[in-house]
Chain A
Amino acid sequence: MRLTEIAFRNIWRNKRRTLLTMTAIAVAALVIVFMFSLLEGLKYDQRNTVIKFTTGHIRIRNADYERNELLNPLQYNIKDYKQVLKVLNSVEQVDMLSPRIQFGARFGVDKDTYGVYKKEFDARGLGVDFTTEDQFQDLNIYLKKGGSLPEHNEILLTIGLAHDLKAEVGDTFDLFIAQTMGGLGFNSRNVRVSGIVEFPVATVNKNLFLMPLDDVSSLLRMDVQEKKSAIEILIILKNPDDIKSKAEKITAALNQANIPSILYDPAQPPAKDYEGLVVTSWTDASAWYAWLQMADISYNLIAFLFFILGTSVIINTIMMIIYERMKEIGTIAAMGMTGRQIMLLFFLEAFFMSVIASFLGVIVGAGLATALGKLDMTQAFEGLDFDIATVIVLRLNIRSVVFTFIYSVVVASLASFIPTIKAARIEPVEALRST
Chain B
Amino acid sequence: MKFLISLAWKNLSRYRRRTIITAVAIAIGIALYIWIDALLLGAEMETVRNLIYFETGPARIMQKKYWEEKDYMLISYYLEDPAAIQAELKKEGYESTQRISFLGNIMNLEQQEGSFQIKMAAIDAKTDGVVFKLEDGIVPENGRFLESGEPEIIIGKDLAEDLDIKLDDWVLVTTKTAGDVYGEAGSWDDLELKVVGLLSTPNPLINKGMAFIPLDYAKQRLMRGQGATDVIVNFPAGADSGSEVEKIKAAIAGLPGAGDWEVLDYKELAREFIMLASTKSGGSKIILFLFFIIAVIGISNTMLMAVFERVKEIGMMRAMGMKDRAIVWAFFLEATGIGFVGSLVGLVLGILLTAYMVIWGLDFSGMIQGMGNIGYRTAGVFKGWWNFDTMLSAFFMGIIISGLVSFIPALRAVRMQITECLRDK
Contacts and interface: CB of A to CB of B under 8 A. Distances in A.
Are A and B part of the same complex? yes
Interface of A: 13-14, 16-17, 20-21, 23-24, 27-28, 31, 34-35, 38-39, 42, 68-73, 104, 112, 116-122, 164, 178, 182-184, 202-203, 266, 284, 286-287, 289-291, 293-294, 297-299, 301-302, 305-306, 308-310, 312-313, 316-317, 319-321, 323-324, 375, 377, 380-381, 383-385, 390, 392, 435
DSSP class of B's interface residues: helix, strand, loop or mixed?
helix
B116 A72 contact: yes
Give 3 closest A-B pairs by Cβ, nearest first: A286-B370, A313-B298, A70-B162
A384 B272 contact: yes
Given A23-B297, A71-B162, A309-B291, A435 B14 contact: yes
A317 B162 contact: no
Contact of A31 (B74, B174, B280, B290): B290
Given A316-B24, A381-B275, 5 more contacts: A70-B116, A120-B72, A305-B35, A320-B22, A383-B275
B18 A323 contact: yes
Interface stretch (B107-115, B142-150, B191-199, B233-241): B107-115
A417 to B, nearest CB: 15
29 contacts: A13-B425, A14-B425, A27-B293, A28-B297, A38-B290, A68-B113, A70-B159, A112-B185, A120-B72, A182-B114, A184-B174, A286-B373, A287-B370, A289-B370, A290-B368, A293-B369, A298-B43, A301-B39, A302-B39, A305-B36, A306-B290, A308-B28, A309-B32, A313-B294, A313-B297, A316-B302, A323-B21, A380-B279, A383-B271
A231 to B, nearest CB: 13
Contacts of A301: 39, 362, 382
Contacts of B287: 35, 38, 302
B115 A184 contact: yes
Given A164-B71, A294-B380, A104 B116 contact: yes
Given A305-B32, A324-B309, A104 B117 contact: yes
Contacts of A323: 17-18, 21
Given A203-B276, A286-B373, A118 B113 contact: no
DSSP class of A's interface residues: helix, strand, loop or mixed?
helix
Contacts of A104: 116-117
Interface residues of B, number: 72
B18 A320 contact: yes
A44 B411 CA distance: 49
Contact of B305 (A17, A69, A117): A17
A290 B290 contact: no
Contacts of A72: 114, 116
B294 A306 contact: yes
B92 to A, nearest CB: 30
A182 B306 CA distance: 76
B178 interface: no
Interface in B222-281: 271-272, 275-276, 278-280
Nearest to A27: B297
B32 A290 contact: no
Contact of B105 (A184, A298, A310, A381): A184
B295 A309 contact: yes
B294 A20 contact: no
Contacts of A23: 297, 301
Contacts of A435: 14-15
B309 A294 contact: no
A385 B103 CA distance: 21
B18 A297 contact: no
Contact of A309 (B29, B71, B275): B29
Nearest to B302: A316
A194 to B, nearest CB: 24
Contact of A290 (B103, B184, B369): B369
A313 B301 contact: yes
A66 to B, nearest CB: 13
B291 A73 contact: no
B425 A28 contact: no
Contacts of B302: 316-317, 320
A289 B369 contact: yes
Given A112-B185, A302-B287, A308-B32, A71 B298 contact: no
Given A17-B305, A27-B293, A118 B185 contact: yes
Contacts of B293: 27, 31
Interface string B357-385: 00000101001111101100001101000
Given A182-B115, A183-B112, A380 B298 contact: no
Interface in B286-335: 286-287, 290-291, 293-295, 297-298, 301-302, 304-306, 308-309
A310 B175 CA distance: 58
Contacts of A306: 290-291, 294
